[in-house]
Amino acid sequence: MPSQDLYQRFSLAPGGDSMAEDAPVSPESFRRPAAMSTFRQEDVEDHYEMGEELGSGQFAIVRKCQQKGTGMEYAAKFIKKRRLPSSRRGVSREEIEREVSILREIRHPNIITLHDVFENKTDVVLILELVSGGELFDFLAEKESLTEDEATQFLKQILDGVHYLHSKRIAHFDLKPENIMLLDKHAASPRIKLIDFGIAHRIEAGSEFKNIFGTPEFVAPEIVNYEPLGLEADMWSIGVITYILLSGASPFLGETKQETLTNISAVNYDFDEEYFSSTSELAKDFIRRLLVKDPKRRMTIAQSLEHSWIKVRRREDGARKPERRRLRAARLREYSLKSHSSMPRNTSYASFERFSRVLEDVAAAEQGLRELQRGRRQCRERVCALRAAAEQREARCRDGSAGLGRDLRRLRTELGRTEALRTRAQEEARAALLGAGGLKRRLCRLENRYDALAAQVAAEVQFVRDLVRALEQERLQAECGVR
């Protein structure tokens, strides 16, 4: 079960259930694309006529636009750039380049298409395929009834899109109902489109990648527990989506975010008879094989496409099935309404940024503490060497001058104080490492104390050097006087 500290990490995202919309916690998550992305340094409005706003997020606004000359309609996503590396406002260029690099690489009927990219002083503008059919769940909620055949027809399209991504070692990491859209809901056979690649990542073989992002209701246990991530995380999300699609109920959703995460980590779900009495065993088996805690035992995308429920699509007809299917559509409608009213969309990027930066700061602080400990060890060795040298000089000069003796005693006293300060600083550093859970709150205070201590040690060392130099000069003067 995940620790309370982990829940505190997730709780850094204020206002809404989303944990993040862009990534990364570890240095691996910030890898730059192989080649620097190039964006058109032109005014987008010279080429496109901007229309109504379609949606907005923490650092992005999406507007409908029309290409001048051709009249083709697209969606323009204005992403606010981060102006300063230290700023928390806006999206870093590195993260924008990662999203653009992935979008430029993918071309599939069930995935949104990137048409062009523009850049100005404040924004990067992605010209995307216009997906105007709305969310899949909203479309299905409007239907009077829903059969498993209809559900699998749409699910097959989702699987096809994810299979294409996984074939390129790309993980979406944010599969959820609001990111599954219809190109045109009025078409005879509406086409699914997967959207929002803000936290998508390439999964590189032999490279460990960890992160905490996504929407709590749909994230895999390995995300909750901050374990290495891979393509398997998407398969868990598909399992959750399928469960909701067939029942209108969410398998892990609790009263609080912490309860939701606890349910996910414990894989605490069941097939309530109220929701699944008319659901086939094949469909339940499909879900069971996806909602597996161990990613290695979880069904892959290729295996899911070969599952009998997806391949065969044969259903038994029962007398009560139409009624139950209508009820399922009603529940899906209730779920859709509830999710839209209770989960603000695209509002958590900044909060994720804060969390990822905290993790970076913690890692940097730990590295800094290790460096400081190394420096203290070196300082202790130097102090010991200086002390030994001072004792030797004290022995040679003990009969020389009473004043010199007093100076040497004072030197030993100061060296003792320095040693005490070093010991105390080492204990504080050890306590800081053991209390890493509270490092976030005490980091600034510890850094100030360590900086002051380092300055004091440096001053004491300088004092010792100056004193030794003075003693050496006095000794030379004394020797000259004797001669």
Task: Give the closest residue to 289 by CA, choosing from 272, 308, 274.
Answer: 308
Same domain (yes/no): 51, 161? no
Higher pLDDT, 410 or 251: 251
Give the other-Cβ count within 10 Å of 345's Cβ.
16
Same domain (yes/no): 42, 127? yes
Domain stops at, among 131, 146, 161: 131
- The domain spanning residue 185 has which CATH number? 1.10.510.10
Same domain (yes/no): 242, 330? yes
Radius of gyration of the chain (CA): 32
Predicted confidence at residue 437, as pLDDT, reads: 64
Question: Could you tell me the two tokens for 215?
Answer: 């929407």
Full residue range of the structural domain in which residue 416 is found: 357-482
200 part of a folded domain: no
Question: Could you tell me the two tokens for 220?
Answer: 């895999």
* pLDDT tens for each residue of 405-443: 677 788 888 888 888 888 888 887 777 667 666 666 667
Do 394 and 408 meet the contact criterion of CB atoms below 8 Å apart? yes
Give the other-Cβ count within 10 Å of 185's Cβ.
16
Domain stops at, among 131, 152, 172: 131
Do 392 and 61 meet the contact criterion of CB atoms below 8 Å apart? no
Same domain (yes/no): 189, 225? yes
- Does the pLDDT at position 92 exceed 50? yes
The whole-chain average pLDDT of the chain stands at: 80
Q: Where does the pLDDT of residue 6 fall: very low under 50, low under 70, confident under 90, or very high at 90 and above?
A: very low
206 part of a folded domain: no
User: What is the C-alpha to C-alpha distance for residues 258 and 8, in angstroms, rounded to an integer?
Assistant: 9
Same domain (yes/no): 59, 184? no
Is the Cα torsion angle 88, 93, 97, 103 positive or negative in sign? positive
- Does the pLDDT at position 53 exceed 70? yes
Predicted confidence at residue 399, as pLDDT, reads: 65
Domain stops at, among 131, 147, 177: 131
Determine whether the annotation assigns residue 143 to a binding site.
no
Same domain (yes/no): 452, 393? yes
Catalytically active residues are 174
Average pLDDT over residues 83-92: 80
Question: Could you tell me the two tokens for 194?
Answer: 């997967």
202 part of a folded domain: no
6 part of a folded domain: yes
User: What is the C-alpha to C-alpha distance for residues 305 and 291, in angstroms, rounded to an integer?
Assistant: 16
1 part of a folded domain: yes
Exposure on the CB side of residue 418, measured as CA atoms within 13 A? 27
Helix 439-482 / helix 349-397 crossing angle, nearest 10 deg:
20
> Torsion-angle region of residue 427: left (phi > 0), alpha (psi -120 to 50) or beta?
alpha
Same domain (yes/no): 123, 266? no
Higher pLDDT, 66 or 35: 66
Predicted confidence at residue 336, as pLDDT, reads: 62
Predicted confidence at residue 401, as pLDDT, reads: 67
* pLDDT tens for each residue of 186-236: 888 899 999 999 899 999 888 888 888 888 899 999 999 888 999 999 999
Question: Could you tell me the two tokens for 459?
Answer: 């001053």
Q: Where does the pLDDT of residue 59 fall: very low under 50, low under 70, confident under 90, or very high at 90 and above?
A: confident
User: What is the C-alpha to C-alpha distance for residues 468 and 421, in angstroms, rounded to an integer?
Assistant: 21
* Structural domains in the chain (count): 3
Provide the Cα torsion 131, 133, 134, 140; round to 10°: -140
Same domain (yes/no): 279, 325? yes
* pLDDT tens for each residue of 347-395: 333 344 444 455 556 666 777 788 888 888 888 888 888 888 888 877 7
Predicted confidence at residue 66, as pLDDT, reads: 95
Same domain (yes/no): 474, 361? yes
The amino acid sitting at 126 is: L
145 part of a folded domain: yes
- The domain spanning residue 61 has which CATH number? 3.30.200.20
User: What is the C-alpha to C-alpha distance for residues 129 and 109, in angstroms, rounded to an integer?
Assistant: 11
Highest mean pLDDT among 41-50, 87-96, 435-444, 447-456: 41-50
- The domain spanning residue 445 has which CATH number? 1.20.120
Task: Give the closest residue to 269 by CA, choosing from 277, 278, 259.
Answer: 259
Residue with tokens 């190394």: 374
Same domain (yes/no): 183, 305? yes
Higher pLDDT, 70 or 37: 70
Same domain (yes/no): 336, 228? yes
Predicted confidence at residue 315, as pLDDT, reads: 43
Predicted confidence at residue 35, as pLDDT, reads: 43
* pLDDT tens for each residue of 327-347: 455 566 666 655 654 444 433
Q: What is the pTM of this model?
A: 0.63
Same domain (yes/no): 291, 370? no
250 part of a folded domain: yes
- Does the pLDDT at position 34 exceed 70? no
Question: Could you tell me the two tokens for 456?
Answer: 């004091």
229 part of a folded domain: yes
User: What is the C-alpha to C-alpha distance for residues 310 and 282, in angstroms, rounded to an integer?
Assistant: 9
Do 21 and 348 meet the contact criterion of CB atoms below 8 Å apart? yes
User: What is the C-alpha to C-alpha distance for residues 70 and 68, in angstroms, rounded to an integer?
Assistant: 6
How far CA 441 is from CA of 187, 361, 444, 447, in Å, comes to 55, 12, 8, 12
